[in-house]
Chains A and B, each alone.
Chain A
Amino acid sequence: MIQLVAAQSASSFPVLNALIIVPIVGALIVVLLPNSRPELMRPVGAIFASIAGALSLYVMAQFSIHEAGFQFQSVQSWIPNLGINWHVGVDGISLWLVVLTGLITPIVLIAVDPHHDPKPYTAWLLLLQAGSFGAFLALDLFLFFVMFEIVLVPMYMLIGGWGYDDRRYAATKFFLYTMAGSALMLVAIVSVATLSAGNQDITFNVVELAQRQALSTNTARLCFLAFALAFVIKVPIIPVHTWLPDAHTQAPTAGSVVLAAVMLKLGTYGLLRFGLYLFPEASVWAAPTLATLGVIGVIYGAIVATMQKDLKRLVAYSSIAHMGFIVLGIFAFTTQSLEGGVLQMINHGLSTGALFLMVGMLYERRKTRAIEELSGIQSAAPVFAGFFTVVMLSSIGVPGLNGFVGEFLVLIGSYETRRWWTVIAATGVILAALYLLWAYQRVFHGEPTPEDEQTPDLTLKEGLVLTPFIVGIVFLGLYPKPLLERIEPAVDDLIAHLEHHSDYVQPDIGAPVVVDENHGSEDDH
């Protein structure tokens, strides 16, 4: 079967491979540029990141809407004895994360000035893009593991090299914490591959392993736990979240943006692709616990965010709250909750990414992120305040903007299978308004101090950098259909897979029972 797919894809341009290779080539070229021309580094890097971004848009445009399976697959033999292949493919669940990765990186490269050592900075960001693409596209467990680990290195370097005062501590904590999580995952990967083999050839092919379902219940549950641990640390879920506020706060703006927008999604994406898909029975078994942890994250993250004194830490904790919604959606197992979860990954990337960018812009102006040292910024910089307000409302989940769409679908879907979880999680929308508006009031409202009064307003370049975020926030809020209709087949396929391999059955919320004069009964499909 693998040969067949390889033969198919050989005839066409292997666009997914190009996605991963282009940023790597870019990084190499940046490294080879003469050190005497520091001003070239970021533009050259941005060009390569943009080429990758354009390729991701090409994938989006060519993606076939009503197909559930993996598209653009490409397979190259890697370690044949062990059945390990370079195997990439994209489906409705990973498609938008790939596009997000493609677009965020060039924007960040253009937007944020590292202030020193632009060459390694640019190279690391490009490697980060390549690694993230690889992790989202990998359909081979071994390849996934390699990519999942590779992205740690550039992020570690970015935090440690270009971060703020406590950067060494934060970078080390980030690296060790996530490494510790994925150590057991490697054991589980090897176990799954070897134990599933039986009489057949050993394989690391995710699709193949998901179809085999050859592990005993208990083994599968243990392996699931090992995978899940790696992912919940990455998301992060309470109580293994404390690396995140430090990493976010100490990271340079570019690091924070990519961390929030792309890297956290590796956790939730991993739970979907390697949790639900590989271990359907174990996922159903663990769902109550994980959904509970997600809901706790929503409330707990919001409460802790309220009391933060540092704007970046506040956004970091709000991230934890938002990711909690996604985890609830994933483990509620309904079409709406899963679609909402996938969509919310993109929404969170847009709004939290933009928030971190703007907190960075504020820091560049005022050299502080402490909430109490800022006041009345809206009087001094009204346009900046306006952009911030839109993003803030998106993060709060005001309908018409993107945040609402994801949260709403997660909650309405979860209400069917996890009613009381949903009732509690929905109170998170009250808390989200509380911590963001309170922070906004302290920073933007009030009388500006003499220093605040001098805060320059948004420059044209900054406005142009933020515009894609605002466009995305409004567009996804009003017309998410293009995304939803590409996500839905993959999600439905995943639920069918769950139902097939466990005793879970998705509740049927059919069309209304009323007889509509115009359309007749809706029961006939």
Chain B
Amino acid sequence: MVELVWLVPTLPLLGFCLLLVTGRMLGEPRAGWVATAAAAGSFLVTLVVFIGLLGKDSDKGERSYEFILFEWLPAGSLRVEAGFLVDPLSITMALFVTGVGALIHLYSIGYMHGDPKYSKFFLYLNLFLFSMLMLVFGNNLVVTFLGWEGVGACSYFLISFWHQRESAATAGKKAFVTNRVGDWGFMIATFAIWSALGTVTYTEISRSPAMSAATGTAVSLLLFVAAAGKSAQLPLYVWLPDAMEGPTPVSAMVHAATMVTSGVYLLVRMNNVLTDDALLIIAVVGGATALFAALCAVAQHDIKKVLAYSTISQLGYMFLAIGSGAYVAAIFHVITHAFFKALLFLGSGSVIHGMHDEQDMRKMGALRVAMPITAATFIVGWLAIAGVPPFAGFWSKDEILLAAWEQKNIGPLLWAVGLVTALLTAYYMSRQVILVFFGEQRWEEDVHPHESTWTMTTPLCVLAGAAIVGGAINLPLVKDWLILEHFLEPIFHHPHHFSSGTTTKIILAIVSVVAGLIGISVAVLSWLMRRIPTEPLEPEFLENAMYVDATYARVVGGAGTSGFQKTADFDAEIVDGTVNRIGRLVMKLGQLIQPTQSGYMRNYAVGVAVGAVAIVAVLAWGLL
């Protein structure tokens, strides 16, 4: 059954090809159903492959299958194959990618209703899914890079989907170019690995002896540059808030649940080359990003911007986990985050849809009456991300905080950063829920909020269920309940084990729950009961995301552009100018000499005579 893996990416690819040829003919809603069927089929095949893999004996190391399709780039001793690797890590990723992906396809059928480019949207969604699956299933760095760039290109298409809007077009370009900085890191890391180990294939890399410390750290950091681009970490995160220009299902699928976790996947996949020095840097950057983005989320007014910064912050958590060596915790959080963040984004899409494209939370309020299903499911997502037990987010976040606590060098500091982030998360999400669904209604007269159709609410309900019970895949209470950890164990050279005693664990868990409750209480007091003045809670400094992006824009628009322009002027005036000056000089010389070629016989005769005399004179001089 594992052999069927080729079908997993092939189905969305077929969907893409079909829509490319017949998309406009199919029209709405059939194009949407074709794409959804491709995604759902892909999920079902993934399930079959998963069951097949479960049937193999993990203890004998049988849960790792490679399927080679053909030789892609054979050049000398470099052998790059187009091949798939099915192992616990790739199948775990593929399960939620196709599962959540299929739900979002279904949701989009209703959400994109009436759009003139309806079929094109689904064409991109299918292409995205295909690329994401190539990224996950690729058996070597280059095939992963194919998927990596593929999702980047699809992200570009989808962000600038409404390309008549200047802001959407700019955001798409910004996402692609910023991601390319990360891609540079990916490429150099690949070169360095091949140079050091003579292979780019994952199974061979994991069997290779360690690289020298310097090379290992360089490779680790280059991989992290790649991850920071794709997964929106400091300082490359700036494209993600702008990416909200895309249709909301895109934000849910590409910019929350799947693509942005690719960086986490890459580092977990390459876990055996990451050095301790690099891990410390990854932990620090991850923690800093988590805190920074949570602070920014506090003061946003756009319903999607809050979720965008929240996503950056949660991704920071995942890198904090990786930096602390807790790879399973990172993947665990990837999964639970995919559930609750996709849910929150789709919920916000439902709100935006019901409010006739209004995204400003200040113009919402009391929507729970008009949109009961959206409200109920959104609240589930809120409880999950706020870390309220027993919702899914609590378990994965708790594991990350524990891992941070146990980090060798600066554990308590990392833990404290994570804890403050947890408090802030609970606060800004509560603020959002209150502003949107509770309080007084603040929408304008001509807006008539309504609940969305069943194709949109069904995915909400399914994801809400997953956000409630998703934590069950890795419960820390009893050792046998750590299902995910046992499943993923074969891919790690040195599986991470928590050293803290039960008491510490329980105390830490209680502290984090209390932090979450404080965050919620502050939000309730200020935004619902209006006991605390709200003005100082959203300072301009935070609303503008600490002016980081604005500073980038000033540098790129100022010094950057003028530097580029000066180079272009240099090319035109100095380099090309010299060429033309030489040309003119030759012409001038020609004009100077020209009069000697007068065409008069007598002038030439004089010249010949003078010349002859001169030659004779010289010869005579030589003889004397």
Contact = CB atoms under 8 A, between A and B. Distances in A.
Contact of B77 (A238, A426, A510): A510
B567 A307 contact: yes
A513 B177 contact: no
A438 interface: yes
Contacts of A514: 204, 207-209
A91 interface: no
B153 A393 contact: yes
Contact of A304 (B78, B163, B571): B571
Contact of A509 (B77, B152, B187): B77
A49 to B, nearest CB: 31
Contacts of A102: none
A412 B190 contact: yes
A446 B142 contact: no
A447 B163 CA distance: 8
Nearest to B79: A511
A480 B73 contact: yes
B71 A481 contact: yes
A440 to B, nearest CB: 8
Contacts of B152: 398
Nearest to B156: A437
Contact of B150 (A334, A336, A339, A400): A400
B70 interface: yes
A145 B160 CA distance: 51
B180 interface: yes
A171 B145 CA distance: 43
A308 B184 contact: no
A55 to B, nearest CB: 28
Contact of B170 (A243, A379, A441): A441
Nearest to A512: B199
Contacts of B70: 479, 481
Contacts of A479: 70, 72
Interface string B180-214: 11011001101110110111000010011100000
Contacts of B170: 441
Contacts of A173: 579, 583
Contact of A307 (B163, B177, B565): B565
Interface stretch (A126-134, A153-161, A403-411): A403-411
B564 A405 contact: no
Contacts of A497: none
A176 interface: yes
A438 B156 CA distance: 12
Given A306-B564, A412-B190, A415-B195, A444 B163 contact: yes
Contacts of B78: 335-336, 409, 412-413, 509
Interface centre among A304, A393, A480, A511 (most CB of B within 10 A): A304
B141 to A, nearest CB: 11
A78 B197 CA distance: 53
B164 interface: yes
B269 to A, nearest CB: 17
Contacts of B82: 478
Given A478-B72, A484-B74, A512 B163 contact: no
B74 A412 contact: no
A427 interface: yes
Given A434-B177, A509-B195, A307 B579 contact: no
A26 interface: no
A446 B565 CA distance: 24
A488 interface: yes
B163 A423 contact: no
A310 to B, nearest CB: 12
Interface string B458-474: 00000000000000000
Given A430-B184, A445-B169, A485 B192 contact: no
Interface string B578-593: 0100010000000000
Contact of B177 (A336, A400, A433, A492): A433
A513 B191 contact: no
Q: SS class of chain B's interface: helix, strand, loop or mixed?
A: helix
A408 B187 contact: yes
Interface in B149-187: 149-150, 152-153, 156, 160, 163-164, 166, 169-170, 172-173, 176-177, 180-181, 183-184, 187
Contact of A422 (B77, B153, B191, B208): B191
A429 B180 CA distance: 7
Interface size class of B (residues with CB under 8 A): 35 or more
A473 to B, nearest CB: 14
B160 A445 contact: yes
A359 B84 CA distance: 39
Nearest to A246: B576
A426 B204 contact: no
Contacts of B567: 300, 303-304, 307
Nearest to B207: A514
B478 interface: no
Contact of B145 (A242, A399, A416, A484): A399
Nearest to A301: B571
A336 B583 contact: no
B568 interface: yes
A340 interface: yes
Contacts of B76: 334-336, 339, 413, 488, 492
B620 to A, nearest CB: 35
Contact of A445 (B163, B204, B207): B163
A512 B583 contact: no
B564 A512 contact: no
A23 interface: no
Nearest to B187: A426
Contacts of A339: 75-76
Interface centre among B75, B172, B191 (most CB of A within 10 A): B75
Contacts of B149: 398-400, 404
Contacts of A404: 149
A308 B82 CA distance: 38
A203 to B, nearest CB: 33
Contacts of A492: 76
A77 B419 CA distance: 86
A447 to B, nearest CB: 5
Nearest to A442: B169
B146 interface: yes
A447 B576 contact: no
Contacts of A393: 153
A239 interface: yes
Given A444-B163, A446-B169, A307 B568 contact: yes
A239 B183 CA distance: 29
Contact of B176 (A177, A433, A511): A433
Interface in B70-120: 70-78, 82
A378 interface: yes
B166 A307 contact: no
A92 interface: no
A349 interface: no
A347 B160 CA distance: 28
B616 interface: no
A303 B77 contact: no
B482 interface: no
Contacts of B177: 430, 433-434, 437
Contacts of A513: 197-198, 208-209
14 contacts: A177-B579, A304-B568, A307-B567, A335-B77, A336-B75, A336-B78, A399-B149, A433-B177, A437-B173, A481-B71, A484-B74, A488-B76, A509-B77, A512-B198
Given A398-B150, A405-B73, A480-B73, 18 more contacts: A177-B579, A304-B567, A399-B150, A400-B150, A411-B191, A412-B194, A415-B188, A415-B192, A426-B188, A430-B183, A433-B180, A434-B177, A438-B173, A441-B160, A444-B163, A445-B164, A478-B82, A513-B197
Interface of B: 70-78, 82, 142, 145-146, 149-150, 152-153, 156, 160, 163-164, 166, 169-170, 172-173, 176-177, 180-181, 183-184, 187-188, 190-192, 194-195, 197-199, 204, 207-209, 564-565, 567-568, 571, 575-576, 579, 583
Question: What 7 A-B pairs come out closest when comparing CB atoms?
Answer: A335-B76, A445-B169, A242-B576, A307-B568, A415-B191, A399-B146, A445-B163
